[in-house]
Amino acid sequence: MKRTWLILVPLGVLLLAGLPLAQKKTIPTRVGFVDAETVIRAHPRYSEVEELQKQADAELKPLLEKLRPLEEKLAAGTATAKDREDYQVLTEAVKKHREKWAPRIQEKLDPLIKEADRVVAQVAREQGFAVIMNRRVAAASNLVVYADPNTDITQAVVEALKKLKK
């Protein structure tokens, strides 16, 4: 029994002595911000998304041009039954158009978002941030009232993205 105490007591002292050393590990606690939209638009392959969006917009434009006068008539209360029917048909066509193009655009956008998120995390770690928030979301939700401009890593992320290959 004495033998067990002779081993356990020094072992316990060593463990307790090592506890403060283990707690001295610095854990980042800084909170930073990034303008996610700016970061995505700065991605080297974002032009592919813009091109697809232009195609979608070009296809949508004639539908919207036909829809505007009908909306005006409906708002003014001068729309005929035919106008209301045409309005329904056109709004359905616009909806189908958006349903057609949204997945295509998102398919191009998703890999860019993943890559941008990876770069944001990398820059955040390099600069000692524990948390990065989307600046626009934080501002719009009133989650953050004030943030020091030095906590914004948007420009550093944009510079890191420029180094990526297309």
Q: Domains plus CATH for the chain?
A: 27-162 (3.30.910.20)
Greatest pairwise CA separation for the chain in angstroms: 102
Statement: the pTM of the whole predicted model exceeds 0.85? no
Identify the bridge partners of residue 33 per DSSP, sorted by sequence position.
133, 152
User: Mean pLDDT in each 10-residue stretch from start to end of the chain (166 residues)?
Assistant: 54 53 66 95 95 96 94 92 94 95 96 96 94 91 87 95 80
How many CA atoms does the CB half-sphere of 49 hold within 13 Å? 19
pLDDT computed for residue 143 by the predictor: 84
- According to the model, what pLDDT value does residue 20 have? 56
DSSP for residue 151: G
Check if the beta carbon of residue 153 is closer than 8 Å to that of residue 28.
Answer: no
Q: What is the pLDDT of residue 67?
A: 92
State residue 164's pLDDT score.
81
Helix (H) or strand (E) holding 34: strand 30-34
- pLDDT number for residue 144: 84
